[in-house]
């Protein structure tokens, strides 16, 4: 019986094969026969299951079926196509299957649909600009607490505007201290060497206070006088810059850019740091106390570097020499010249030429100088009676070797000041040089990869951003008059503030961070020996701020 089954099976296959070879059949016919044959083989194999079938015969039959399939493939394949083995994987089959005209037309149709959709969307839904433009912005949302309470009429200490003078004392507050909007792009792109002409335009929310901060009396500061600036939304950056050096050659090229317009002043570290990179919520005191460097200025500034060192380990670039110098009108942002003098600024910084893996990496020392001229006015007539010298000198040292970072900055101001009362000042009133001094020391420690280019640019499918935490402590002092001798000058004491800030920044998305700062501010004693509610002996505070950008 088994012998009969085997013979029948072999007979069926041979019959099919012989008929195949005997007639030049079409592929369809061949396929039909193959299917019938497969069924027969299956049927007979099932019938033969219990019995002992000669494995060699089955193997032979399988080989014949395989050859038949290959014959079918060969007939079905278009001219020029490679015949693949019957047991080849799908990838190999795909690679050896030519596309038909219908396939190509299908792809063409898909492309046409895509082009149409893109063109329509572009026309109807995509905003356009005349020149290449990047739009960005930063917003801060803050909650704060302090003890003792902030006295009525004292500003809320917001850093970027929106300063409010409250009518009654308060311990807590909610603020949006800063909201900025920026536009940047190329006016002319030099494809050959990258000597581009670019522009920058920025806006920030301005003062929005309801009281008059110029008033000397706390109570009258809350009367609701309109902001003297009258602006809610001020221009911050308005500049165009030209690169004199190629910018597309690689990191080993030196840089040199002339910027014209309203811009940050190249003085020290903190005065140039924008909200995005500054670790501490409040800027160092001297950056807001020393005129000239505490605001943006309008003028011409050249920034460049030379003696470039590139460590190809990770394309780490350092420059032995960085420099910036320029001339500005000295009146501050959005204001024309207010006298016949120009202010001059210069900065030089040296970075140790070290490899990326060296402990001396990113050790930078800088010196800055600002020569300005202030208008001294008779406060009775409001007439400018003298043009006074105002100079700023600074020294800074920065060491950032993750996870550690240390920054120290020193700045000193020298301002001609009337010896007598400004209300009675004349062109010949004598002046003295008032020296003011500010400095801070910042220690930071970072966990996470926020500041590593390699890690934050990792290829990911999702909206990946390495979570990072940055803890720091900062000691910041400012003395508005360094004489500190009440007998010689009463105002020279009671004008020094020392702020210790302990903070933690959590970076949890590309442009968003949560900042928590604990502050302890201590004021020196005034000449009268009595502290006031406006200027208490010490104040402690807590600030929690979300900062996000787009």
Partner 1 sequence: MQRRTLAAVFSALMLIGLASLPAVSAEDKPTVIRISFPGAGTGGRPLSGGSFPSNAHLFKEIDDEFKADGIKIEWKFFPGAGPALNESYANGLTDVAFGHGDLPLIVGRATGLKHKIVLSSSRFGNSYFVVPAGSTAKTVADLKGKRLATFKGTAGQLTLYRWLDKFGFSDKDFRIISLDNDSTKAALATNDIDGTNITPFDLQARGIAKSILEVRDDPKITRPGTVWVGEEFEAKYPQIVQRIVTRLVKVAYWSTQEANREKEFQAWATSGSQAYIDYKKDWDSVPDLRTRINPLLDEYYVASLKSSIEETKKFKLIRKDVSIDGWIEPKYLNQALKELKLEDYWPQYDADGKVKTAARSKLAAN
Would you count residue 355 as binding partner 1 (CB under 8 A)?
yes
Residues 461, 487, 488, 530: which binds partner 1 (CB under 8 A)?
461
User: What does the per-residue mask of binding to partner 1 show for 485-514, with x meaning CB under 8 A?
Assistant: -----------------x-x-x--------
Decide: helix, strand or coil at residue 97. coil
Would you count residue 193 as binding partner 1 (CB under 8 A)?
yes
Helical segments of 126-255, H only:
none
CB closer to partner 1, 235 vs 452: 452
Smallest gap from Cβ 80 to partner 1, in A, equals: 16
CB closer to partner 1, 34 vs 77: 77
Smallest gap from Cβ 461 to partner 1, in A, equals: 7
Residues 251, 338, 375, 511: which binds partner 1 (CB under 8 A)?
251
Contacts of 289 (CB under 8 A, 6+ apart): 413, 436, 438, 478, 480
Residues 64, 133, 210, 358: which binds partner 1 (CB under 8 A)?
358
Q: Which residue has the tokens 């020290």?
A: 268
Number of Cβ atoms within 10 Å of the Cβ of 197? 13
Q: Which residue has the tokens 């590309």?
A: 510
Would you count residue 410 as binding partner 1 (CB under 8 A)?
no
Q: For residue 347, which of 321, 329, 328, 320 has the smallest C-alpha distance?
A: 321
Tell me which stretch binds partner 1 (CB under 8 A): 125-133, 331-339, 341-349, 466-474: 466-474
Q: For residue 152, which of 217, 229, 225 has the smallest C-alpha distance?
A: 217
Residues 49, 79, 125, 192: which binds partner 1 (CB under 8 A)?
192
Q: Quote the CA–CA distance of 67 and 89 in Å, as a whole number.
A: 17
Two tokens, residue 259? 């910027």
CB closer to partner 1, 233 vs 464: 464
Q: Cis before residue 340, ω within 30 degrees of 0?
A: no
Would you count residue 224 as binding partner 1 (CB under 8 A)?
no
Would you count residue 423 as binding partner 1 (CB under 8 A)?
no
CB closer to partner 1, 361 vs 437: 361
Q: Which residue has the tokens 């000449």?
A: 527
Would you count residue 89 as binding partner 1 (CB under 8 A)?
yes
Smallest gap from Cβ 24 to partner 1, in A, equals: 32
Residues 248, 400, 431, 511: which binds partner 1 (CB under 8 A)?
248
CB closer to partner 1, 138 vs 505: 505
CB closer to partner 1, 75 vs 248: 248
Q: What is the size of the binding site for partner 1 (CB under 8 A)?
A: 48
Would you count residue 352 as binding partner 1 (CB under 8 A)?
no
Contacts of 394 (CB under 8 A, 6+ apart): 267, 268, 293, 366, 367, 368, 369, 409, 410, 411, 412
Smallest gap from Cβ 146 to partner 1, in A, equals: 11
Q: For residue 375, which of 331, 434, 420 has the smallest C-alpha distance?
A: 331
Tell me which stretch binds partner 1 (CB under 8 A): 50-58, 163-171, 243-251, 367-375: 243-251
Two tokens, residue 238? 């308005």
Would you count residue 57 as binding partner 1 (CB under 8 A)?
no
Q: Quote the CA–CA distance of 410 and 387 in Å, as a whole number.
A: 26
For helices 55-76 and 27-47, what crossing angle results, to 10°? Answer: 160
Q: Quote the CA–CA distance of 140 and 415 in Å, as a whole number.
A: 34
Give the sign of the dihedral formed by CA 150, CA 155, CA 158, CA 159. negative
Binding to partner 1, residues 271-330 (CB under 8 A): 311-316
CB closer to partner 1, 57 vs 449: 449
Residues 327, 542, 544, 548: which binds partner 1 (CB under 8 A)?
542
Q: Quote the CA–CA distance of 277 and 398 in Å, as a whole number.
A: 14
CB closer to partner 1, 342 vs 401: 401
Would you count residue 91 as binding partner 1 (CB under 8 A)?
yes
Q: Read off φ and ψ for residue 364, nearest 5 degrees.
A: -125, 135
**In sequence order, what E strands does 151-189 have?**
170-188
Residues 516, 525, 533, 544: which binds partner 1 (CB under 8 A)?
516
Residues 44, 301, 328, 402: which binds partner 1 (CB under 8 A)?
402
With contact defined as beta carbons under 8 Å apart, do 198 and 187 qualify? yes
Would you count residue 98 as binding partner 1 (CB under 8 A)?
no
Smallest gap from Cβ 460 to partner 1, in A, equals: 6
Would you count residue 80 as binding partner 1 (CB under 8 A)?
no
CB closer to partner 1, 307 vs 432: 307
Tell me which stretch binds partner 1 (CB under 8 A): 148-156, 204-212, 236-244, 247-255: 247-255
CB closer to partner 1, 57 vs 455: 455
Would you count residue 244 as binding partner 1 (CB under 8 A)?
no
CB closer to partner 1, 32 vs 467: 467
Q: For residue 14, which of 60, 48, 45, 55 has the smallest C-alpha distance?
A: 60
Two tokens, residue 74? 């060969």
With contact defined as beta carbons under 8 Å apart, do 542 and 518 qualify? yes
**In sequence order, what E strands does 292-430 have?**
297-311, 316-328, 343-351, 363-377, 384-401, 404-418
Residues 540, 544, 548, 549: which binds partner 1 (CB under 8 A)?
540
Run of H or E residues at 67: helix 55-76
Q: Which residue has the tokens 């005129």?
A: 291
Smallest gap from Cβ 318 to partner 1, in A, equals: 13
Binding to partner 1, residues 132-191 (CB under 8 A): 191
The rounded radius of gyration (Å) of the Cα atoms in the chain is: 39
Binding site for partner 1 (CB under 8 A): 88-89, 91-92, 94-95, 191-193, 248-251, 311-316, 355-358, 402, 447-449, 452-455, 457-461, 467, 469, 471, 502, 504, 506, 516, 518, 520, 538, 540, 542
């Amino acid at each position: 019986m088994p012998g009969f089954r085997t013979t029948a099976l072999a007979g069926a296959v041979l019959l099919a094969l012989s008929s195949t070879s005997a007639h030049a059949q079409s592929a369809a016919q061949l396929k039909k026969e193959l299917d019938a044959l497969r069924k027969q083989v299956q049927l007979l194999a099932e019938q033969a299951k219990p019995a002992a079938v000669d494995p060699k015969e089955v193997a032979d039959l399988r080989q014949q079926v395989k050859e038949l399939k290959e014959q079918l493939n060969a007939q079905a394949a278009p001219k020029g196509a490679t015949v693949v083995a019957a047991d080849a994987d799908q990838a190999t089959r795909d690679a050896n299957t030519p596309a038909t005209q219908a396939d190509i037309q299908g792809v063409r149709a898909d492309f046409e649909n895509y082009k149409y959709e893109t063109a329509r969307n572009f026309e109807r839904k995509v905003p356009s600009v005349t020149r290449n433009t990047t739009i960005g912005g930063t917003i801060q949302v803050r909650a704060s607490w302090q003890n003792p309470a902030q006295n009525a009429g004292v500003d809320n200490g917001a850093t970027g505007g929106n300063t409010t003078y409250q009518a009654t004392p308060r311990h807590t507050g909610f603020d949006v201290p800063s909201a900025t909007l920026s536009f940047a792009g190329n006016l002319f792109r030099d494809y050959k060497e990258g000597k581009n002409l670019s522009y920058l335009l920025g806006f920030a929310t301005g003062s929005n206070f309801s009281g008059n901060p110029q008033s000397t009396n706390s109570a009258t500061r809350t009367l609701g006088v309109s902001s003297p600036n009258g602006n809610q939304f001020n221009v911050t950056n308005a500049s165009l810059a030209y690169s004199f050096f190629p910018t597309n050659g690689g990191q080993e090229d030196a840089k040199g850019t002339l910027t014209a317009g309203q811009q940050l002043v190249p003085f020290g570290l903190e005065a140039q740091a924008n909200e995005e990179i500054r670790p501490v919520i409040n800027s160092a005191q001297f950056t807001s106390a020393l005129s000239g460097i505490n605001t943006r200025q309008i003028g011409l500034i050249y920034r460049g570097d030379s003696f470039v060192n590139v460590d190809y380990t990770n394309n780490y670039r350092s420059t032995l020499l960085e420099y910036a110098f320029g001339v500005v009108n000295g009146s501050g942002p959005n204001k024309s010249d207010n006298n016949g003098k120009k202010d001059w600024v210069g900065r030089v910084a040296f970075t140790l030429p070290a490899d990326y893996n060296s402990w001396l990496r990113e050790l930078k020392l800088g010196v800055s100088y600002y020569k300005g001229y202030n208008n001294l006015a008779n406060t009775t007539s409001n007439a400018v009676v003298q043009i006074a010298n105002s100079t700023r000198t600074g020294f800074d040292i920065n060491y950032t070797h993750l996870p550690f970072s240390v920054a120290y900055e020193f700045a000193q101001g020298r301002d001609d000041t009337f010896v007598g009362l400004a209300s009675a000042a004349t062109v010949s009133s004598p002046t003295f040089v008032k020296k003011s001094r500010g400095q801070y020391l910042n220690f930071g420690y970072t966990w996470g990869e926020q500041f590593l280019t390699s890690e934050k640019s990792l290829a990911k499918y999702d909206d990946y951003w390495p979570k990072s935490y940055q803890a720091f402590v900062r000691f910041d002092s400012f003395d508005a008059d360094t004489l500190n001798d009440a007998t010689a000058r009463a105002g020279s004491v009671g004008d020094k503030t020392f702020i210790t800030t302990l903070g933690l920044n959590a970076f949890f998305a590309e442009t968003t961070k949560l900042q928590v700062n604990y502050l302890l501010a201590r004021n020196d004693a005034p000449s009268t020996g009595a502290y006031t509610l406006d200027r208490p002996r010490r104040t402690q505070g807590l600030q929690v701020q979300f900062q996000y950008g787009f």
